[in-house]
Each structure stands twice: as structure tokens, then as C-alpha cells.
């Protein structure tokens, strides 16, 4: 049977009703003047975007938010399953809530997100932490009000996962974390099944949001002053494939770029197998798209790329990179890379190093391979000991540091447009970021946060620049 895809436009009105009921329940259940929620999100921006929807729903039910769990009536960990380290932190943090729950038994503790879509993990958590009252997976986000209501009123714990309906649910209330930097999901799920990766198992099949909905969300963000908007998807280049009118990512981003305003537009993540010259041309000709391409290569060795099921080789990857360098002067390139994939030898690893030297990335997200239960790579032979992989990892960091510091040094004396993102401690030092995603520190007053400024670069560190606002 063919898989069905579609969009459900209206957040089911019964879910809105549950939010009203929760509002009433919390009037008598709250510890302080207002019901307080503590929501902690791990993992990628997709999870952050989900967290913003959870906060939107809770906000509608009268909740306010604090960044510590101590006073909270509702505590939620929105989890990530991508590497073991992320999972360990969740186990540790939930374990640490035992005393708080003993002191305030009416505090509801909940778990959601990608870890909860893995049956063995969700069940282990459910069993290890009897004081967790609500567990739900990524596919149950649109049912959160109902689940929360049941957990608050019933005598049993509530547990819902694995109900992927392949649908895109629109109209869920939203409360963004930032006021000038924001995320805009354009699609959900992933069909690529890279052999190391858990994401397709916990996020379901790839499905796109309708173009008109995305455009109006972008317009609304720009109108309300967002300066840095990132379009999100696990593989943005395959945007639109399940939509009736078959719109491409390049077309979508061109349409958004045409909206008037003073803003930067970014996107992630772009998969090298589907990254087209058309997309690079679009970036080159655009008014608002950052001259920045995040293009994860994962490994520089063709043998390992094949074992990873990445569907491109080193040659094809470099072809796109070189095209981008040619068409977009000063393009800033960033990437993800995995060290120690099963069967990787030091020879393979050296290919990764040579690729990094050849491309000269601005920065890299570097990971040591972490086996994920249920993925093909987890069953592959992995003879290299962890201590050896750590050595390779350190070597890679050293090489990248050298490249990044050279790049930073070459920017001294230039003037860069930056977005002021916040204050750095005391002393009127501001943190800013270039369109190529390089961090810049400059002196200035806090009122400048959230504005674009021009900064003359006066000094370069290994990863960051220092400068003065001109």
C-alpha cells in the first residue's frame, strides 16, 4: 500500500479545549502565583523548534517559563538520540529530579523527543524512573494537550510513542525563544538512512510543509523584526518531493528571498547528494541568503562514504564545493564530520584530514562515531579501540584549528556586517556573528542587541574575531 502524506491545517479544536481545561486545573495545582514550566531541549534545531511549539501550547494554558526546575509545576526534557552522550545526560538529569519530586509530589515530570521514539529507551526510562508521569515521542507533539491533561487528571502514567501518521500538523501554537533569531521548519523526517544515523527511525518519513504556509510564516517573522531566519530540515534539498505542486527548495528559498526587509536567511541541512548548482546560483544571486553553506561530508574516504550510504563520493563533493567557491566569493563553508566509523582505518582518516585541508572550512562540527541500536552500522565490525579514535579526533581538531585561525587572521582589517546577538558578561562587550557564522566580539551598548552593525576587524583568535563598531 502506498504511504499517504498530507497536511492537517488546523490544530484539532479538541486539543485547544484541553488547553483550557489544563488552565483551570493549574489554577488550583500551581505552587506559586503562576503555573511554572521548565522545558529543557537537547539536540538539533528541529528539536528546539518542537520545544517552541510545546511552549506555545503551555503558554496558552497559562504557564510561564523558568530556566531552572526548582519552582516548576511541570518539568519536561525534550530529548535527542543522535549520540550516546546526549542520551546519558538525559538519564543523569532525570535521575537527579528524584528529590525534587519527593519534596513536591504534585510536580509533573515528563519526557519527549527523539529518545522516546526508541522503544528500548522509552521503556527503560519508564521503568527506571517511576516518578516520570508522561512520556511521548516526536510523532505525538500535536496531541500534547490531551496527553498532559490525562497525566494531570488520571491515576495512571501516560505513555504514547510510535504513532507516525506521515502527516504535517499545522496550526500548533508557537512561542519562539528568540526575538530576532528564529527557526522555520520546512519539512520533517528523513528518508536517507545513513547507516550510522538514528534520525530516520525517530523522526519518521520525510514530509514537507506546504509552500504557502512557510511563506506566510516567513513574512510574519520578517514583519515582526526577525533578522536571522533559518529554514530547517534534515535534507532541505529534497524539499517538496511529496507535495502535489512539486516545488523545489531553490524555488522556495527564492520566493522567501523576494520578501522585502533587512534580514538574513539561512538553511540547514543540505545533503551533498542533492545539493544542486541551481541552489548555489540562487545563493549567489540572492539579497538575503547568507553566503554560507553548511554541507556535511562526514568522511573524506570513498570507501567509508559508501559504507555510510551517503550516495556521493569525494570527487562529487569537491565539485559542489568548488562550484560554490567559484560562484560565491568569500563563501563560508562549514560541515559535520564523523571520526571512527566502523571499519575506518588510519588511511581512511587521513583522507578526511586531506579533505579538510583542501576545502578550508570556517568551522566543523566534529563527532566520534557512536553506535545506535537498530542502525546497520551498529552491527558492523568495529575493531579500532576508543582510545585510538580519540587520538585521531584530537589530530583532526588540531588541523581544523590551524585552518580556522588562518581564516580569522585573513579577515583582520576588513569591515564585516554582523548581527549583534547578546552581551558577553559585563563591560559592554557584545557578541555578534557574521553572515558566514563567525563569532565577533566588539564593544558597544546593550541596546544594539538584535541589530545589524558594521564591525572593523582588529584582532583574530583561533575561532573568533575582535573588532570595533564603525
**Which 3-22 residues touch ligand F3S, going by CB under 6 A?**
none
Our finding on whether 194 is near ligand SF4 (CB under 6 A) is yes
Minimal distance, residue 91 CB to ligand SAH, in Å: 18
Residue 433: other Cβ atoms inside 10 A: 19
Minimal distance, residue 197 CB to ligand SAH, in Å: 4
Count, residues near ligand SF4 per rule CB under 6 A = 10
Rounded Cα distance between 424 and 442, Å, is 9
- Listed residue (349, 353, 374, 357) closest to 321, CA to CA: 357
- Cell numbers that stand for 432 in this block: 555578534
To which H or E segment does residue 211 belong? Answer: helix 211-223
Among 372, 407, 433, 466, contact with ligand SAH (rule: CB under 6 A)? 372
In this structure, what are the phi and psi dihedrals at residue 65, rounded to the nearest 5 degrees? -120, 140
Nearest to ligand SF4 of 149, 196 (CB atom) = 196
Nearest to ligand F3S of 198, 250 (CB atom) = 198
Minimal distance, residue 409 CB to ligand F3S, in Å: 33
Q: Please, what is the end-to-end C-alpha distance for the chain in angstroms?
A: 62
Count, residues near ligand SAH per rule CB under 6 A = 17
Minimal distance, residue 118 CB to ligand F3S, in Å: 9
Among 54, 90, 184, 338, contact with ligand SAH (rule: CB under 6 A)? 338
Our finding on whether 271 is near ligand SAH (CB under 6 A) is yes
Nearest to ligand SAH of 42, 129 (CB atom) = 42
Among 11, 37, 43, 232, contact with ligand F3S (rule: CB under 6 A)? 43
Helix segments in 139-206, DSSP class H? 144-153, 199-203
- Listed residue (62, 99, 58) closest to 76, CA to CA: 58
- Crossing angle for the helix pair 277-285 and 314-327, nearest 10 degrees? 20
Our finding on whether 378 is near ligand F3S (CB under 6 A) is no
Among 202, 221, 419, 465, contact with ligand F3S (rule: CB under 6 A)? 202
Rounded Cα distance between 280 and 328, Å, is 8
- Cell numbers that stand for 244 in this block: 502535489
Minimal distance, residue 57 CB to ligand SAH, in Å: 26
Query: Could you tell me the CA-to-CA distances from 423 to 15, 182, 226, 448 in Å, in that order?
Result: 39, 18, 18, 10
Our finding on whether 197 is near ligand SF4 (CB under 6 A) is yes
Q: Using CB distances below 5 to 8 A depending on partner kind, what does residue 200 bind out of ligand SF4, ligand F3S, ligand SAH, none? A: ligand SF4
Q: Using CB distances below 5 to 8 A depending on partner kind, what does residue 433 bind out of ligand SF4, ligand SAH, ligand F3S, none? A: none
Rounded Cα distance between 79 and 42, Å, is 5
The shares of helix, strand and coil residues in the chain, as percent rounded to the nearest 5, are 40, 25, 35
Q: Which stretch binds ligand F3S (CB under 6 A): 197-205, 308-316, 319-327, 395-403?
A: 197-205
Strand partners, 289: 265
Strand partners, 460: 465
Specify whether the CB–CB gap between 282 and 254 falls below 8 A: yes
Nearest to ligand F3S of 114, 440 (CB atom) = 114
Nearest to ligand SF4 of 93, 192 (CB atom) = 192
Minimal distance, residue 375 CB to ligand SF4, in Å: 9
Query: x/- contact string, 185-204, with ligand SAH (CB under 6 A)?
Result: -----------xx-x-----
Nearest to ligand SAH of 15, 234 (CB atom) = 234
Specify whether the CB–CB gap between 208 and 47 falls below 8 A: no
Our finding on whether 81 is near ligand F3S (CB under 6 A) is yes
DSSP 298: B
Our finding on whether 369 is near ligand SAH (CB under 6 A) is yes
Our finding on whether 207 is near ligand SAH (CB under 6 A) is no
Our finding on whether 36 is near ligand SF4 (CB under 6 A) is no
Strand partners, 423: 430
Rounded Cα distance between 141 and 58, Å, is 12
Residue 9: other Cβ atoms inside 10 A: 11
Our finding on whether 236 is near ligand SAH (CB under 6 A) is no
Specify whether the CB–CB gap between 11 and 142 falls below 8 A: yes
Query: Looking at beta carbons, which residue is closest to ligand F3S?
Result: 43
Specify whether the CB–CB gap between 363 and 463 falls below 8 A: yes
**Which 74-103 residues touch ligand SAH, going by CB under 6 A?**
82-83
To which H or E segment does residue 279 belong? Answer: helix 277-285
Helix (H, G, I), strand (E, B) or coil at 328: coil
The residues of the shown chain that bind ligand F3S, judged by CB under 6 A, are 43-44, 46-47, 80-82, 114, 198-199, 202-203
Binding site for ligand SAH (CB under 6 A): 82-83, 196-197, 199, 234-235, 269, 271, 296, 298, 336, 338, 367, 369-370, 372
**Which residues contact ligand SF4 by CB under 6 A?**
190, 192-194, 197, 199-200, 234-235, 271
Amino acid at each position: 500500500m502506498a504511504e499517504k502524506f498530507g497536511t492537517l491545517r488546523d490544530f484539532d479544536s479538541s486539543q485547544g479545549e484541553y488547553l483550557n481545561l489544563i488552565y483551570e486545573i493549574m489554577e488550583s495545582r500551581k505552587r506559586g502565583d503562576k503555573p511554572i514550566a521548565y522545558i529543557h531541549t537537547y539536540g538539533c534545531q528541529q528539536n528546539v523548534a518542537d520545544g517552541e511549539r510545546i511552549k506555545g501550547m503551555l503558554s496558552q494554558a497559562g504557564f510561564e517559563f523558568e530556566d531552572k526546575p526548582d519552582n516548576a509545576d511541570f518539568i519536561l526534557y525534550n530529548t535527542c538520540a543522535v549520540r550516546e552522550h546526549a542520551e546519558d545526560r538525559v538519564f543523569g538529569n532525570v535521575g537527579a529530579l528524584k528529590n525534587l519530586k519527593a519534596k513536591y509530589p504534585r510536580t509533573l515530570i515528563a519526557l519527549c523527543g527523539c529518545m522516546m521514539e526508541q522503544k528500548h529507551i522509552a521503556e527503560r526510562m519508564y521503568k527506571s524512573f517511576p516518578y516520570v508521569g508522561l512520556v511521548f515521542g516526536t510523532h505525538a507533539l500535536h496531541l500534547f494537550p490531551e496527553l498532559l491533561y490525562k497525566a494531570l487528571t488520571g491515576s495512571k502514567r501516560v505513555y504514547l510513542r510510535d504513532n507516525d501518521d506521515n502527516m504535517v500538523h499545522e496550526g500548533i501554537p508557537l512561542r519562539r525563544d528568540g526575538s530576532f533569531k528564529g527557526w522555520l521548519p520546512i519539512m520533517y523526517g528523513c528518508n536517507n538512512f545513513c547507516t550510522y544515523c538514528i534520525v530516520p527511525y525517530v523522526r519518521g518519513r520525510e514530509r514537507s510543509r506546504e509552500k504557502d504556509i512557510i511563506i506566510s510564516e516567513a513574512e510574519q517573522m520578517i514583519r515582526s523584526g526577525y533578522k536571522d531566519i533559518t529554514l530547517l530540515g534534515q535534507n532541505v534539498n529534497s524539499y517538496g518531493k511529496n507535495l502535489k505542486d512539486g516545488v523545489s527548495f531553490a524555488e522556495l528559498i527564492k520566493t522567501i528571498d523576494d520578501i522585502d526587509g533587512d534580514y538574513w536567511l539561512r538553511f540547514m541541512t543540505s545533503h551533498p547528494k542533492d545539493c544542486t548548482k541551481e541552489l548555489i546560483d540562487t545563493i549567489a544571486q540572492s539579497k538575503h541568503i547568507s553566503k554560507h553553506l553548511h554541507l556535511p561530508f562526514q568522511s573524506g574516504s570513498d570507501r567509508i562514504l559508501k559504507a555510510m550510504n551517503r550516495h556521493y563520493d569525494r570527487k562529487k563533493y569537491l565539485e559542489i564545493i568548488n562550484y560554490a567557491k567559484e560562484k560565491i566569493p568569500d563563501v563560508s563553508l562549514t560541515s559535520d564530520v564523523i571520526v571512527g566509523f566502523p571499519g575506518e582505518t588510519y588511511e581512511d582518516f587521513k583522507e578526511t584530514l586531506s579533505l579538510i585541508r583542501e576545502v578550508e572550512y570556517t568551522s566543523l562540527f566534529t563527532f566520534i562515531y557512536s553506535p545506535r541500536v537498530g542502525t546497520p552500522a551498529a552491527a558492523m565490525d568495529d575493531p579500532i579501540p576508543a582510545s585510538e579514535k580519540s587520538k585521531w579526533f584530537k589530530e583532526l581538531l588540531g588541523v581544523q584549528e590551524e585552518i580556522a585561525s588562518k581564516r580569522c587572521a585573513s579577515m583582520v582589517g576588513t569591515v564585516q556586517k554582523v548581527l549583534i546577538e547578546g552581551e558577553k558578561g559585563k563591560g559592554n562587550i557584545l557578541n555578534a556573528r557574521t553572515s558566514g557564522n563567525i563569532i565577533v566580539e566588539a564593544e558597544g551598548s546593550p541596546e544594539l542587541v538584535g541589530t545589524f552593525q558594521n564591525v572593523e576587524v582588529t584582532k583574530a583568535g583561533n575561532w573568533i574575531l575582535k573588532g570595533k563598531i564603525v
